[in-house]
C-alpha cells in the first residue's frame, strides 16, 4: 500500500495529482486553502499542498496534546529511527546512593518527555532532516507536530502514510504543511507546544529563538553556514575530487558545503586549474535524467544565487567557470546554475561573508597556518570546516583552532550519528546526535528517596 502511494505520485502527470493534505490525529485532513508547489526543474506548478492556517496548527497541537496524556529518501531516514530507538535503551537513567548521618538516600535520574514538540524543517534534504528530529522526539516519549518546508513537503506527507500504516497511536505524530509565517509561526507561539526544534536559515532561527523565549520553550537551532576549506601545499592531490564535491554536491544546497576555499600560496595557481577542471566535470540538467547537478530549489533562491555571481563580477572577481545554464526539452524555465568558481575577491566581499547556498565557491590564497585560521574564523558563522593536508600535526592543530561544530580532515560529509552535530556562533544553538538529541527531547528529573 505504501509503495502504491509513492508510485501514484511518480506516475501522475504534473497538475493531475490529488492535492496533498495535512496529517492530524492519524487522519489526512483537507485544509481550508491550498497553494502551488513549483517544480524547480521546469519552473511550473506540479502539485497543490496545504497552505496551513492557525486553525489547522491548533487542531494538530490539540491532537498531540491529547495523545501526550496517554502515550509516551532515504536509507539515512531509516537509520535515524533505528539508531535512536537502540540508543534510548542505553543512554538515559543513572542512579547514585547518598550516605549521610541521618541515613542513606538513593538518587536516580528519570528522563521525562517534554510534551508536544514542534519540529520545523527546511527544504534541503527534507526527509533526512525531519527524521533526525522525529526519531529522537518520539523515542523520548514526546508527541509531535511537524512543519516541513512549504517548498518540499511531499516526502514528509509520504512518511505520514508510513506512520498511519504501521498503526501509530492517534495524535502522536501530526503534520501541518504551509508557510513559515503562518503555520510555522503559530507552532512557535502556541502555548501548548513546549519545545521547538528548528533547522533552517539564521534569520528565521533567531526570530524563533526570540519568540520562544517569551514562553521559555526549549529550543534547538540548526542554522546557516559559510564553511571554509583549508588546503595546505602538501594536500593529497587525490582529494581534489572530494574537495570539489564538498562545494557542489546537491547544487551546493547542503548547509555543510564548502563555500570559501583557502589555498596555500605555492600551489594556488595549479590548484585553481585542477579545481576548475573538476568543477567542469559536473553534469547539469533535468534532475529526472542522469545528471549530478539539478535545478536550484526555487525561483527566489535562483535569483539570490545569481545576485551573488553579479556581485562578484562587479567587485572585479575572476569567474573561471559556471554561471546560469539553460536546459532544453521542457526545462527552459528551470533554475539551473553550473558549478561556479571565483577568485580575486577580498575576505570582506559579501560573496565571502554571506551564505550563498548554491554551487558557488570563492578561492583565495594564504601563507601561514596562523593567518588562515584567523581568516577562516572571521565570519559570523561556525557550522563546519574542512582541512586538507598530508601532515597529521597540521591537520589536528588547525582543526583544534577552528570555530566550527564539525571539522573534517581529509574528508567531507562523513557523518557518524552518535557524534554531536550543530553550529557555533550564528550557525546554531544546541547539538543534535544520538545522546545530545535524547537529552534535548527529554527533561532530566532527579528523584531522591530516603531509605
Ligand atoms: P528557512 O529558515 O527559510 O525555513 C526553514 C523552515 O522554517 C521552513 O519550514 C519554513 O516554513 C519555516 N519558517 C519560516 N518562517 C518561520 C517563522 N516565522 N516561524 C516558524 N517557522 C518558520 O530556511 P530554508 O530556506 O528552508 O533552508 C535553508 C537554510 O537552512 C540555509 O540557511 C541552510 O544553511 C539551513 N540549514 C541548516 C542545517 C543545519 O543543520 N545547520 C541543515 C540544513 C539547512
Query: Which value does ipTM take for this structure?
Result: 0.98
Name the closest-CA residue to atom 22, ligand 1: 180
Spell out, as residue ranges, where the chain has pLDDT lower than 70: 70, 72-75, 89-93
Distance 180 CA to ligand 1 centre (A): 9
Q: Which residues are catalytic?
A: 222
Q: Which three cell numbers stand for residue 320?
A: 573561471
Q: Which three cell numbers stand for residue 141?
A: 516519549
With contact defined as beta carbons under 8 Å apart, do 176 and 21 qualify? no
Distance 153 CA to ligand 1 centre (A): 13
Distance 117 CA to ligand 1 centre (A): 17
> Measured on CA atoms in the order 333, 339, 341, 345, is the torsion positive or negative?
positive
Which atom of ligand 1 sits closest to the CA of residue 202?
32
Give the bridge partners for 198, in sequence order: 120, 221
Distance 204 CA to ligand 1 centre (A): 7
Whole-angstrom Cα distance, residue 232 to residue 372? Answer: 10
Which atom of ligand 1 sits closest to the CA of residue 122?
26
Distance 199 CA to ligand 1 centre (A): 5
Which atom of ligand 1 sits closest to the CA of residue 147?
9
Distance 71 CA to ligand 1 centre (A): 30
Check residue 204 and give its pLDDT.
98
Picking from 183, 175, 220, the residue whose alpha carbon sits closest to that of residue 200 is: 220
Which atom of ligand 1 sits closest to the CA of residue 225?
34
Best probe residue, ligand 1, of 49, 122, 130, 250 (max atoms within 8 Å of C-beta)? 122
Name the closest-CA residue to atom 43, ligand 1: 255
Cell numbers 490525529 correspond to 25
Whole-angstrom Cα distance, residue 232 to residue 235? Answer: 5
Whole-angstrom Cα distance, residue 343 to residue 421? Answer: 31
3 state DSSP class of 32: coil
Which atom of ligand 1 sits closest to the CA of residue 148?
9
Cell numbers 516526502 correspond to 155
Q: Which three cell numbers stand for residue 43?
A: 519552473
Name the closest-CA residue to atom 15, ligand 1: 180
Name the closest-CA residue to atom 9, ligand 1: 149
Backbone angles phi, psi at 272, to 5 degrees: -60, -40
Check residue 72 and give its pLDDT.
47
Name the closest-CA residue to atom 35, ligand 1: 200
Name the closest-CA residue to atom 34, ligand 1: 224
Buried b (16+ CB within 10 A) or exposed e, 89-118: eebbeeeeeeeeeeeeeeeeeebebbbbbb
Check residue 89 and give its pLDDT.
65
CA distances from 21 to 41, 84, 177 (A): 24, 28, 8
Best probe residue, ligand 1, of 201, 219, 304, 355 (max atoms within 8 Å of C-beta)? 201
Q: Which residues line ligand 1 (CB under 6 A)?
A: 120-124, 129, 147, 149-150, 179-181, 184-185, 188, 199-201, 204, 207-208, 222-225, 255, 355, 357, 383, 423, 428
Whole-angstrom Cα distance, residue 358 to residue 18? Answer: 32
Distance 4 CA to ligand 1 centre (A): 31
Determine how many CB atoms are found less than 10 A away from the CB of residue 161: 16
Name the closest-CA residue to atom 14, ligand 1: 180
Give 214-280 as a 3 state SS string.
CCCCEEEEECCCCEEEEECCCCCHHHHHHHHHHHHHHHHCCCCCEEEEEEEHHHHHHHHHHHHHHHC
Check residue 90 and give its pLDDT.
62
Cell numbers 588546503 correspond to 231
% helix, strand, coil for the chain, step of 5? 35, 25, 35
Amino acid at each position: 500500500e505504501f509503495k502504491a502511494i509513492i508510485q501514484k505520485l511518480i506516475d501522475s502527470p504534473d497538475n493531475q495529482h490529488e492535492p496533498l493534505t495535512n496529517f492530524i490525529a492519524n487522519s489526512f485532513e483537507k485544509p481550508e486553502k491550498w497553494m502551488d508547489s513549483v517544480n524547480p526543474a521546469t519552473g511550473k506548478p506540479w502539485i497543490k499542498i496545504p497552505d496551513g492556517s492557525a486553525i489547522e496548527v491548533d487542531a494538530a497541537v490539540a491532537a498531540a496534546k491529547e495523545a501526550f496524556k496517554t502515550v509516551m529518501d532515504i536509507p539515512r531516514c531509516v537509520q535515524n529511527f533505528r539508531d535512536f530507538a537502540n540508543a534510548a535503551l542505553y543512554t538515559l537513567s543513572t542512579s547514585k546512593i547518598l550516605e549521610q548521618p541521618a541515613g542513606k538516600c538513593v538518587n536516580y535520574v528519570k528522563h521525562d518527555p517534554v510534551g508536544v514538540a514542534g519540529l520545523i524543517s527546511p527544504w534541503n534534504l527534507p526527509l533526512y532532516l525531519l527524521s533526525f528530529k522525529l526519531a529522537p522526539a518520539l523515542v523520548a516519549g514526546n508527541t509531535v507536530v511537524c512543519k516541513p518546508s512549504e517548498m518540499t513537503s511531499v516526502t514528509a506527507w509520504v512518511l505520514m502514510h508510513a506512520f498511519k500504516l504501521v498503526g501509530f497511536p492517534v495524535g502522536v505524530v501530526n503534520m501541518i504543511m504551509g508557510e513559515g509565517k503562518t503555520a510555522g509561526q503559530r507552532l512557535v507561539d502556541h502555548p501548548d507546544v513546549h519545545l521547538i526544534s528548528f533547522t533552517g536559515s539564521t534569520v528565521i532561527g533567531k526570530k524563533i529563538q526570540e519568540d520562544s523565549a517569551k514562553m521559555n520553550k526549549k529550543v534547538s537551532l540548526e542554522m546557516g553556514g559559510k564553511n571554509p576549506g583549508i588546503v595546505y601545499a602538501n594536500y593529497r592531490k587525490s582529494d581534489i575530487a572530494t574537495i570539489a564535491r564538498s562545494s557542489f554536491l546537491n547544487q551546493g544546497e547542503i548547509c555543510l558545503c564548502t563555500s570559501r576555499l583557502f589555498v596555500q600560496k605555492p600551489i594556488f595557481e595549479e590548484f585553481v586549474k585542477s579545481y576548475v577542471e573538476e568543477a567542469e566535470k559536473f553534469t547539469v540538467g533535468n534532475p529526472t535524467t542522469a545528471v549530478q547537478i539539478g535545478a536550484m530549489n526555487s525561483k527566489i533562491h535562483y535569483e539570490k544565487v545569481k545576485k551573488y555571481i553579479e556581485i562578484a563580477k562587479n567587485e572585479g572577481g575572476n569567474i573561471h567557470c559556471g554561471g546560469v545554464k539553460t536546459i532544453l526539452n521542457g526545462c527552459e524555465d528551470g533554475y539551473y546554475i553550473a558549478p561556479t568558481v571565483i577568485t580575486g575577491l577580498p575576505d570582506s566581499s559579501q560573496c565571502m561573508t554571506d551564505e550563498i547556498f548554491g554551487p558557488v565557491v570563492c578561492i583565495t590564497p594564504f601563507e601561514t597556518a596562523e593567518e588562515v585560521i584567523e581568516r577562516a574564523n572571521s565570519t559570523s558563522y561556525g557550522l563546519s570546516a574542512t582541512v586538507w593536508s598530508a601532515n597529521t600535526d597540521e591537520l589536528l592543530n588547525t582543526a583544534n583552532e577552528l570555530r566550527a561544530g564539525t571539522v573534517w580532515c581529509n574528508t567531507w560529509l562523513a557523518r557518524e550519528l552518535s557524534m554531536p552535530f550543530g553550529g557555533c556562533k550564528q550557525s546554531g544553538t544546541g547539538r543534535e546526535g544520538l545522546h545530545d538529541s535524547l537529552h534535548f527531547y527529554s527533561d532530566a528529573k532527579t528523584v531522591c528517596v530516603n531509605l
